[in-house]
Structure 1
Amino acid sequence: MATATLNQITTAADHRAATAVIRVQDVHKYYELGETKVHALRGINLEIEPGEFVAVMGSSGSGKSTFMNLLGCLDKPSSGRYFLEGTDVSQLDKKTLAGVRNRKLGFVFQGFNLLARTTATENVELPTLYAQLPKEERRERARKALEMVGLADRMEHFPAQLSGGQQQRVAIARALVNRPSILLADEPTGNLDSRTSVEIMQIFQDLNGQGLTLVLVTHEQDIAQFAKRIVVFRDGRIRRDEVVKNRPRAADVLFELPAQDD
């Protein structure tokens, strides 16, 4: 074994901070409504390492959605710092933030947000247009992304020809097409039935197994249990942060559920 260098001899905390893809330090977010200051986040500190799968939970008004907006570079903190892959993005201007967002992050939402008059492949290609990729590469990336989510036989289908679960798979493929470092999913199973929800979790577990970092917002404990770690927000603060014990494999859960037509 090679001898460790001085720089390699660090504490566990130092190593965690150095390797974190997401590092949030004393982040506050408030909104001013007239003379009233509404605090959405109060002193949030959190680190997420490469390859983690984190579920963020909390009731309405807990701060979880505000936190997700900050992680997604859709908003900026009122104070505190947010490091994304080692870069402080806390106070970047909107144009620069948009560039960071397009390069590093993929988004999946509760609503599928697919264009009705374009095929699955064309929907998945959309983010690559902003990246100004050649047409051939755009089509190849879209094809591979759809294959990853099990839709190799639905590439030329329009949204109306797809089930809700299939539409969400298209949305996931679209989020993956620019090869993001992190996938952010905000209530991605909110419009789906139980079996289809577990199918989506199987896709997320498979992607995570390939090394993709995932952050999932959900209010459903049954969905959160498929993550490796659960962070619970209440009143703008993190109240609980724990590793999931006896984490189920979505594939095993699916095997126990009754089959249904897709």
Structure 2
Amino acid sequence: MSGDFTGRRILVTGSARGIGRASVERFLAGGARVACLDRDEAALAALARRDELYPIVADLADAGSVRDAVDRAADVLGGLDGIVNSAGIDLECPIEAMEDEQWQHLMAVNLTGPMLVCRQAVPHLRAAGQGSIVNVSSGAGLQPLRHRTAYGASKAGLQMFSKALAIEAADYGVRVNIVCPGAVDTELFRGSLPSSDPEPALQAVRDRYALARIADPDEIAAVIAFLTSRDASYITGATIAVDGGRTFH
């Protein structure tokens, strides 16, 4: 069963909110022990206290912070069997208005950060054998959106990084897959909407989707959990759009 994670040791970034948090809940419900990485210490503290949950404050834009956090996660869990890179930030901005620092920070979090996590985690996954990495990209990495040149580039880059890593990691039995969500009802998504009258913007988003609705975070977490599970043991290098049909609609 894809919901059985008994004895599994999983690290999730961006775990205090949204898709990351929903993934943590799925793993815990399945019997896993989970290291929750996030830079928001207050949000991590708000997670329900459970013996199987280990909050770790880390900044994905800081290589030293990532290195220490991944090693600490492996230490407290006694190893690592799975990685989920869910942390990410958005930037909606015309290219002429974009500052160098905005581009650099977004790439640091959305692309370099997952690379740093994977690089530090691979020795632990190799030691465990038959590990799994799931990197959360975006439908915007498959089909572009206006004023999101940096965001789309970071997410498309994450997909190719993951595919190349899947070839390399297969040598020691570690699978690497990519999930590309569409619009998901998270704080990050809501923050991109006009604060005064969000409904027209929401309807414009819905109109881009065959299913004509916005996803719940748990719908994305369900696919992440499946790819992390033993039921997906013959899947690697796959990019799965979990986007209500936007990329073909």
In the superposition, the TM-score normalised over structure 1's length comes to 0.33
In the superposition, the TM-score normalised over structure 2's length comes to 0.34
Which structure has the larger Rg?
A: 1
More helix by share: 2
**Which structure has more RCO (C-alpha within 8 Å, separation ≥ 6)?**
1
